[in-house]
Copies of this chain bind each other. A is one copy, B any other.
Amino acid sequence: MIKEKYITYLQENGYKCTPQRTVLLSYFCQHKNKLISVNTMMNYLKKDNRHISLDTIYRNLSLFVAIGLLKSTTLNGKRLFSLKNNLDHQHMFICTECRTTKPLNFCPMGIVQSSLNDCSIKSHKFEVYGLCPSCSWCK
């Protein structure tokens, strides 16, 4: 999916297309398979001489997660966001060094579902952590 699709998706769901949202989504599109923290985002904006207030970033990233454009995870107590590659969910390998991700193409839910018949399942998380090939070399 390219930036325009995300913008369209926003509008189709009743949200306005603002310059701030465009900048944020562009950044994610230029960093597919990367986990981005609010801090990383701020630093990029500073370097690029743009300015979006911190609270606007928080509000929008939360919105993007809520409507399914981004997914989020937590590493060392910090929330990290990344672009959702497609509409259905996908698990990932996460390099804890450079925060690159790699899709796993396997979901364990089918296997455990039967053992949770009495529970109402809402969501799940499966993530593998380690070092990607290039970060392995440097260590």
Contacts and interface: CB of A to CB of B under 8 A. Distances in A.
Contacts of A74: 74, 77
A79 to B, nearest CB: 7
Given A74-B77, A77-B74, A79-B77, A124 B119 contact: no
Quickly give the copy total for this chain: 2
Interface string A107-139: 011011001101111111111111111001000
A38 to B, nearest CB: 12
Contacts of A102: 116, 119
A27 interface: no
Interface residues of A, number: 33
A6 interface: no
Given A104-B115, A119-B136, A120-B131, 18 more contacts: A96-B122, A102-B116, A104-B112, A106-B108, A108-B111, A109-B128, A112-B128, A116-B128, A116-B130, A119-B130, A120-B130, A121-B128, A122-B129, A122-B130, A123-B130, A124-B126, A125-B129, A126-B127
Interface of A: 74, 77, 79, 93, 95-96, 102, 104-106, 108-109, 111-112, 115-116, 118-133, 136
